Amino acid sequence: MEPIPVGVSACLLGQEVRYDGGHQRDRYITDTLSQYFSFVPVCPEVECGLPVPREAMRLVGLDGEPVRLLTIRSGQDLTDTMQDWCQHRVEDLAASDLCGFIFKKDSPSSGLHRVKRYHPGGQSSQRDGRGLFAAAFTERFPLIPVEEDGRLNDARLRENFIERVFAMKRWRDYLSENPDYRSLIQFHTAQKLLIMAHHPEKYQVMGRLVAKGKEIPRERLLERYGHLYMEALESFATVKKNTNVLQHIMGYFREDLSSDEKAELLEVIEEYHSHLVPLTVPLTLIKHYIRKFDVSYLKSQVYLSPHPAELMLRNRV
């Protein structure tokens, strides 16, 4: 499989670019995800011209004040320098076809969620800011999946993020093949169960869009579909929604199963629904029956293998 281009805060790869000359290597990123992703490292503070080591900085601005990036000891204002660099860098990154970005948490440049914003005097702070580069990136690329290193330790967030990275790659690959209306129907059909596991209502909206697709100019149709696809997958595939999908799948070979097989499968789905076993347990049995009864429609469903099994993402959700 061709590696998927994903941006990453450079210090997470082990590059010694932090203000104190150190790094924040994340082994899951460097040892596991690197087997599937080709990383594009970005260190906003070094790339905008600051040295290593350098004075630490933070976001300043509460109570409706504009947020500034200031060094902590000398109060140097780096906001304009950083924002000018951000505007150029995000345009450069457009050429990299990134399918995701992993940001370093808590950083006033790279942090994505709950970065501290301080009162100018430093006496109080709120955890609701976003690093300046992370803000510029998400504004320029609202559909590219983004996540932080710390949150990747949460099995549910990790599975959702990685699933979206692979989905973005599938969508980009599809677009690169000069798609027509017929191939959009095929794409949509193959994603059906995956989308239903995330956002059944949006699946209906997408279905109506595809049904009317011939009346819509091609570029507009693809742009609208791509938006809906990535937005739908942002919703979590909950146990309840996955259970509905598993029961739906069972309908395709219910008649082929013996009463013992049917009872066993229902029991395993119920155990998953009761949080006693992870998603991979009912799916393993289902895949066995899909092979056994050669259900070709289900074989083409992305839902069954949306990312490599070796990542074991469904062993914990």
Enumerate binding residues for ligand SF4 (CB under 6 A): 9-11, 17-18, 43-46, 104, 107, 109-110
Could you give the CA distance from residue 224 to residue 181 in angstroms, rounded to a whole number? 13
Return the number of the residue (149 or 159) whose C-beta is nearest ligand SF4: 149
* Nearest distance, CB of residue 19 and ligand SF4, angstroms: 7
Q: Where are the beta strands (DSSP E) in the chain?
A: 4-9, 37-42, 57-60, 68-71, 101-103, 115-118, 125-129, 146-148
Which lies closer to ligand SF4 via its Cβ, residue 18 or residue 117?
A: 18
Shortest Cβ 170–ligand SF4 spacing (Å): 28
Whether the bond into 108 is cis, omega within 30 of 0: no
Distance separating alpha carbons of residues 136 and 305, to the nearest angstrom: 33
| Least distance from ligand SF4 to the Cβ atom of residue 150, Å | 12
Q: Which is nearer to ligand SF4, 103 or 289 (CB)?
A: 103
135 CA to centre of own chain: 16
| Nearest CB to ligand SF4, comparing residues 44 and 306 | 44
For ligand SF4, the closer of residues 10 and 59 by Cβ is 10
CB of 128 to ligand SF4, least distance (A): 18
Smallest distance from ligand SF4 to CB 155, Å = 24
| CB-CB contact of 137 with 92 (8 Å) | no
* Nearer Cβ to ligand SF4 (104/192): 104
Report in angstroms the alpha-carbon separations of 75 from 21, 79, 131.
20, 11, 17
Gap between the Cα atoms of 36 and 54, Å rounded = 34
- CB of residue 79 to ligand SF4, shortest distance in Å: 14
